[in-house]
């Protein structure tokens, strides 16, 4: 798609002038230190990250409308437990006034295992409840087709929450190098994101061990196929060390309704189970470590080994991410609050 046409992909009237205004707001936002450090301090009084696990027995048996309501209640509870503040307070404090909020979902696996669209919808509605304009929110991944297959409704207009793939918007023209990774990143991330929300799925991965928050960003750049050697390590950490991701990430909400404890990343029904939960946090490494621990317990019970030494060790890319200063992987330093609603 020609460069000038890409700039109009979100509908007539979204001009380069508007983009520059938004980019300026985003630059000031990051220059001020971003919000992630504040959120991490708020999460556990400065002592370390807090991760909330919220389960809702019966969630999967609900109809769409009731499931949406339940997801809202789960996100409310998760935000409150992870931050020590009410959900509206957290959302209003950290997202109102932001020009563009993008939500990186993981639709891989379609309706069987893609991030649940009703979870994303619930979060969008909660953000609108605290004053966020619906058209400032963008749900995205690498391809329109994958979003459609997972149940998302595409929207490139200037009304409603936008939903679009990078294959339509394109990748930025400037390569970024971070450690072992040199790549072009999605223009949704480089141009239309001031605050980033990560909406992954709790599942295993044949190479990396797990594919949750950190590996979700393999859908954010143009050459993930070159980053799978050595258990995807150090590639996963290097991708997440890019400032576009590290400095803009504000929140992680993991779809843990039907996780997978072996094989992957595509769904294998014999290795999935009804957990009926979400995992909420502000530190992507801590969130992944908590999710990995849940998976490890299930895998051990089922005598599966999704990664080496699953009973006593985390996937190694989490330790690399911790060493890069991207978050906390040591479970002893993470406060985990598990709640059932």
Q: What is the mean pLDDT of residues 237-242?
A: 98
pLDDT reading at 138 higher than 90: yes
3-class state of residue 138 by DSSP: strand
CB 314 within 8 A of CB 334: no
**Cα-based angle 260, 264, 267 (whole degrees, multiple of 5):** 65
The candidate with the shortest Cα–Cα distance to 183, out of 129, 267, 241, 108, is: 241
pLDDT reading at 66 higher than 90: yes
Q: What is the mean pLDDT of residues 252-256?
A: 98
User: Rounded CA gap, 136 and 340, in Å?
Assistant: 32
The predicted pLDDT at position 9 comes to: 53
Mean pLDDT score of the chain: 90
The candidate with the shortest Cα–Cα distance to 210, out of 230, 232, 183, is: 232
Compute and round to an integer the Cα radius of gyration of the chain: 19
CB 116 within 8 A of CB 149: no
Positive or negative: CA dihedral 304, 217, 284, 323? positive
**Cα-based angle 64, 88, 123 (whole degrees, multiple of 5):** 30
Report percent pLDDT > 90 for the chain.
Answer: 84
The predicted pLDDT at position 46 comes to: 59
Q: What is the mean pLDDT of residues 24-41?
A: 45
The predicted pLDDT at position 47 comes to: 76
User: Rounded CA gap, 164 and 147, in Å?
Assistant: 8
Q: What is the mean pLDDT of residues 173-189?
A: 98
Question: Measured between alpha carbons, how far is residue 99 from residues 20, 27, 105, 199 in Å?
Answer: 11, 11, 19, 20
Q: What is the mean pLDDT of residues 144-169?
A: 97
Report percent pLDDT > 70 for the chain.
Answer: 87
When pLDDT is cut at 50, 70 and 90, the band that residue 4 belongs to is very low
**pTM to 2 decimals?**
0.91
The predicted pLDDT at position 133 comes to: 95
User: Rounded CA gap, 260 and 245, in Å?
Assistant: 26
- Which residues on adjacent β-strands are paired with residue 86? none
Q: How many residues does the chain have?
A: 341
The predicted pLDDT at position 271 comes to: 98
pLDDT reading at 335 higher than 90: yes
| pLDDT tens for each residue of 216-227 | 999 999 999 999
CB 286 within 8 A of CB 51: yes
Take residue 226 and report the two structure tokens written for it: 């070159």
When pLDDT is cut at 50, 70 and 90, the band that residue 96 belongs to is confident
| pLDDT tens for each residue of 285-313 | 999 999 999 999 999 999 999 999 998 99
**Cα-based angle 221, 234, 255 (whole degrees, multiple of 5):** 60
When pLDDT is cut at 50, 70 and 90, the band that residue 97 belongs to is confident
Q: What is the mean pLDDT of residues 125-138?
A: 96
pLDDT reading at 20 higher than 60: no
CB 25 within 8 A of CB 194: yes
The residue ranking higher by pLDDT, 130 or 27, is 130
Q: What is the mean pLDDT of residues 124-135?
A: 96
Take residue 7 and report the two structure tokens written for it: 């700039």
């Amino acid at each position: 798609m020609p460069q000038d046409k890409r700039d109009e992909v979100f509908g007539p009237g979204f001009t380069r002038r508007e983009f520059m205004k938004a980019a300026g707001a985003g630059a000031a936002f990051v220059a001020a230190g971003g919000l992630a450090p504040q959120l991490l301090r708020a999460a556990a009084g400065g002592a370390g990250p807090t991760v909330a696990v919220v389960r809702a027995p019966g969630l999967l048996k609900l109809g769409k409308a009731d499931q949406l309501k339940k997801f809202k209640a789960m996100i409310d509870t998760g935000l409150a437990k992870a931050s020590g503040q009410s959900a509206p307070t957290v959302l209003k404090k950290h997202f109102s006034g932001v020009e563009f909020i993008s939500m990186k979902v993981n639709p891989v696996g379609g309706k069987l295992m893609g991030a649940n669209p009703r979870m994303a919808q619930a979060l969008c509605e909660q953000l609108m409840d605290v004053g966020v304009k619906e058209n400032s929110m963008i749900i995205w991944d690498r391809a329109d087709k994958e979003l459609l297959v997972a149940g998302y409704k595409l929207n490139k207009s200037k009304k409603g929450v936008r939903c679009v793939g990078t294959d339509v918007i394109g990748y930025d023209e400037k390569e970024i190098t971070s450690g072992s990774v040199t790549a072009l990143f999605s223009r949704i991330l480089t141009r239309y994101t001031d605050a980033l929300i990560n909406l992954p799925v709790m599942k295993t991965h044949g190479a990396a061990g797990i594919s949750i928050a950190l590996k979700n960003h393999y859908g954010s750049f143009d050459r993930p196929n070159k980053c799978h050697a050595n258990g995807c390590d150090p590639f996963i950490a290097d991708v997440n060390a890019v400032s576009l991701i590290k400095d803009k990430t504000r929140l992680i909400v993991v779809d843990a309704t039907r996780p997978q404890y072996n094989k992957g990343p595509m769904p294998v029904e014999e290795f999935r189970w009804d957990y009926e939960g979400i995992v909420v946090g502000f530190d992507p490494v801590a969130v992944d470590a908590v999710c990995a621990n849940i998976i490890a317990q299930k895998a051990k019970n089922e005598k599966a080994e999704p990664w080496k030494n699953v009973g006593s060790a985390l996937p190694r890319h989490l330790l690399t991410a911790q060493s890069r200063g991207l978050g906390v992987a040591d479970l002893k330093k993470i406060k985990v609050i598990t709640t059932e609603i």
